[in-house]
Amino acid sequence: MSEPILTTRNLTRKFGDFVAVNDVSFSVLRGEIFSLLGPNGAGKTTTISMLSCLIAPTSGDAAIDGHSINGNPNGVKNAIGVVPQEIALYDTLTARQNLNFWGHMSGMSGKALKTRIEEVLEQVELTDRADDKVEAYSGGMKRRINIAVGLLHKPKLLFMDEPTVGIDPQSRRRILDMVSDLRDQGMTVLYTTHYMEEAEELSDRVGIIDHGKLIALGTQKELTKLVGQQESLRLHLGEGITGESVQELFANVDGVLQSNALDGEVILSVTEAATALPGAVTVANANNIRIRSVDIQEPNLEAVFLHLTGRALRD
C-alpha cells in the first residue's frame, strides 16, 4: 500500500468566475480507501468529474494508473469504475440486463461478463432479484445495483460519490459493510461523503475539502492531532431555541475555545469537557435555556473541520 494509483497536481476547475476546485493536489495509494470529506458544494463531485474525464480541468492534471486525465482519457476510463451520486440505471431493464449493458460499455463480453455478473450480484446480495425490473426495487436495492455496475469490470480504482445519500439506515449500513469488504479484497476506493462517521469508519486516509480547497489530509489520527487535545461538548437545546440565537452566550464560558451553532444545538470546542460543562450549564440556567442532553465527544473529524473552518460540517 505504498505506491500511488492516483496523483493529482494543482487540479483546478472554474465555472466562469466561480472556482469549484482550487489547486487541489493529493495522492491515493493502491489498496487504500481514501475519503474526500466536505460539506455539500465543497467541490467533491467536481473533483470526481475531472478524475473520471467527464469535464476537463481548467488547469492542473492528474494521473491514474499512469494515464493522464488530459492526455489519455481512454486509458483512465479503462482503469476506473464510477459509482455516481444519482441512480444511473435504466429502470425498465432488469438488474441483470443493466449489468449486461454496462459490462459491454466497459469492454466486457461473452462468458467472462456472464460469470462476473453473477459474482457482483452475489456481492450486492441481489441474485434472487436479478431478473426483476429495477423500477420495482427499493431505494437501497437500486443503490446496491448502482454500486455493482461500478464494480463489474474490476476497476483498479473505484470512485464512489456519496453512495449513501437518501437511503434508510439499514441500507446505508449494508453499503458501508460492502465498501469495507472491498477494502478487504484489496480494491482502491476514492470515497466522497459529507458524513463524518462514514469517513471515520471506512477510510485509511481522509482529505478534507471546503470551498474547493483541500484544507487537510492524513489519517484520522494525524488529522485529529491538528485540534490538539480538544474535546467537543454538544448541547442539545430545548424546543423553540435555535443554536444561532445562543451561540455567543456560550462562547464566553471558561474553557470554551469555540462555539458553533447548528439546528437546535450548540457545539463547543473545549480544552476539557469536565471543566467547561458546569460553566455552560450555569450560563444556560441564567438565560432560561433548557439543555435537553449533552454529548461529550473525543476529538474527531467533525472537530477537525470545525477547527479548520470555524463551521460545522453540516453548515
- Asked if 160 and 104 count as a contact pair (C-beta separation under 8 A), the reply is no
Residue 222 to residue 243: CA distance in whole angstroms: 30
Is residue 84 close enough to count as binding other proteins by CB under 8 A? yes
Q: What 3-state DSSP class applies to 273?
A: helix
Other beta carbons within 10 angstroms of residue 139's beta carbon come to 12
What residues numbered 112-151 form the site for other proteins, per CB under 8 A?
Answer: 133, 149
Residue 28 to residue 284: CA distance in whole angstroms: 46
Is residue 234 close enough to count as binding other proteins by CB under 8 A? no
Q: How far is the CB of 22 from other proteins (least distance, A)?
A: 22
Nearer to other proteins, 105 or 274 (CB): 105
Tell me which stretch binds other proteins (CB under 8 A): 101-109, 163-171, 173-181, 299-307. 101-109
Q: How far is the CB of 122 from other proteins (least distance, A)?
A: 23
> Exactly one of 87, 226, 281, 294 binds other proteins (CB under 8 A); which one?
87
Tell me which stretch binds other proteins (CB under 8 A): 99-107, 169-177, 179-187, 192-200. 99-107
Residue 101 to residue 95: CA distance in whole angstroms: 10
Tell me which stretch binds other proteins (CB under 8 A): 34-42, 100-108, 118-126, 174-182. 100-108
Helices (runs of H) and strands (runs of E) counted in the chain: 11, 14
Residue 294 to residue 270: CA distance in whole angstroms: 13
Q: How far is the CB of 107 from other proteins (least distance, A)?
A: 6
Is residue 165 close enough to count as binding other proteins by CB under 8 A? no
Q: Taking Cα atoms as reference points, which of 108, 22, 97, 103 lies closest to residue 57?
A: 22
Residue 277 to residue 275: CA distance in whole angstroms: 6
Nearer to other proteins, 91 or 125 (CB): 91
* Interacting residues toward other proteins by CB under 8 A: 52-54, 74, 77-78, 80, 82, 84, 86-93, 97, 100-102, 104-107, 109, 133, 149
